[in-house]
């Protein structure tokens, strides 16, 4: 498996800050947060303007951005300049405090979630900012704050299409967050802990060894049914096809973000893609061994896995049509919820028999 030691050294020791006590801890925390935050922002900056278009074009046999810079990469800069240069227009009847806070809440809730994700090491430095005993509960709690941001944006815009998008966001996130958490609870039964580092450590053994080839005991192999359920619920949580109901451009223009422009729209867009990568990071941690993998450093494997989840979301976006709002509610409450409880019960029975 990958790094012989998945969590090799704290950033305090790596930078020689350990002797400085609390001050050293604070400086190390700021440095680690700066690295993690900027890495995730860089991934989002590449994914939103460029990778999304390239992947969708490949799936639908079209030509994507290819004129601005090599491979069209400078579209990232062009889009940033174009959007930030636009006038920030505030609707006349908007509820200003809620309207202004919604984009910050959306982007900020995703960034908070990365604090407990074990991302492996880079240059011998462990990139997990914190590993509390309730890490899994924490990451779901802060990620769910995004629903509040969607609702605030929809309500505060004084626009009926935005309001519909906000209401759809509430209905969707409630319907699918419960199956998401229950499916994650089945992983906790296997790992015996809510600590994210502990969940990764529980997947380091070998499940099956076939000569030179060995299959790791990642929970995606141990319980593939739970992995499929989690990925489906995650699609709904991050609002990607076939569950992009809160935006639904053909029905409600752009939903909760209809009235947002300039830097506010950038923050909304940024928050959406940050949550896609956060969902991929949670899936990689719970089911794909986190930063574990052969030969390559842990952080490289972690990056490959979260980009793999992003590729999967874009595949579904290109291949699967949007479901209706009533179908979405029915799938969530009558399908996903029942299946997630069934999975939890079967997992509990299996763990009980093994133990």
pTM for the full predicted model: 0.89
Return mean pLDDT, the chain: 85
Q: What is the pLDDT of residues 163-219, one digit of tens each?
A: 888 888 888 888 899 999 999 999 999 998 999 999 999 998 887 877 677 788 899
Pairing status of strand 206-210 against strand 121-122: unpaired
Rounded Cα distance, 332 and 323, in Å: 12
Tokens standing for residue 309: 């989840």
Q: 256: closest CA among 274, 271, 235? A: 271
Give the residue from 313, 240, 255, 256 showing the smallest Cα distance to 280: 313
Return the pLDDT at 184.
94
**Residue ranges for the chain with pLDDT beneath 50:** 1-8
């Amino acid at each position: 498996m990958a790094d012989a030691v998945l969590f090799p050294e704290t950033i305090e020791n790596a930078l020689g800050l350990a002797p400085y006590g609390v001050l050293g801890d604070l400086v190390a925390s700021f440095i680690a947060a700066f690295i993690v935050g900027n890495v995730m922002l860089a991934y989002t900056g590449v994914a939103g303007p460029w990778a999304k278009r390239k992947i969708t074009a490949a799936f639908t046999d079209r030509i994507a951005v290819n004129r601005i810079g090599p491979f069209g990469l400078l579209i990232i800069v062009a889009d940033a300049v174009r959007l930030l240069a636009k006038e920030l227009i505030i609707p006349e009847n908007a509820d200003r405090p809620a309207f202004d806070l919604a984009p910050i809440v959306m982007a900020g809730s995703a960034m908070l979630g990365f604090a407990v994700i074990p991302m492996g090491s880079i240059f011998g430095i462990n990139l997990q900012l914190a590993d509390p005993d309730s890490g899994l509960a924490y990451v779901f709690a802060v990620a769910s704050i995004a629903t509040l941001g969607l609702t605030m944006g929809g309500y505060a815009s004084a626009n009926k299409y935005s309001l519909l998008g906000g209401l759809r966001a509430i209905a969707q996130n409630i319907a699918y967050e419960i199956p998401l958490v229950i499916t994650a609870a089945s992983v906790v039964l296997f790992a015996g802990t809510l600590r994210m580092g502990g969940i990764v450590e529980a997947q380091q053994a070998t499940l099956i060894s076939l000569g030179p080839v060995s299959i790791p005991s990642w929970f995606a192999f141990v319980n593939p049914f739970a992995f499929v359920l989690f990925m489906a619920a995650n699609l709904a949580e991050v609002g990607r096809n076939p569950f992009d109901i809160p935006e639904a451009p053909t029905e409600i223009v752009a939903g909760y973000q209809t009235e947002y422009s300039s830097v506010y729209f950038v923050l909304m867009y940024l928050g959406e893609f940050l949550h896609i990568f956060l969902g991929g990071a949670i899936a990689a941690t719970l089911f794909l061994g986190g930063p574990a993998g052969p030969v390559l450093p842990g952080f490289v494997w972690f990056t490959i896995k979260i980009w793999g989840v992003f590729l999967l979301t874009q595949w579904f976006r290109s291949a699967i049509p949007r479901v209706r709002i009533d179908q979405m509610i029915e799938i969530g409450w009558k399908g996903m919820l029942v299946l997630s409880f069934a999975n939890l019960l079967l997992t509990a029975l299996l763990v009980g028999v093994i133990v």
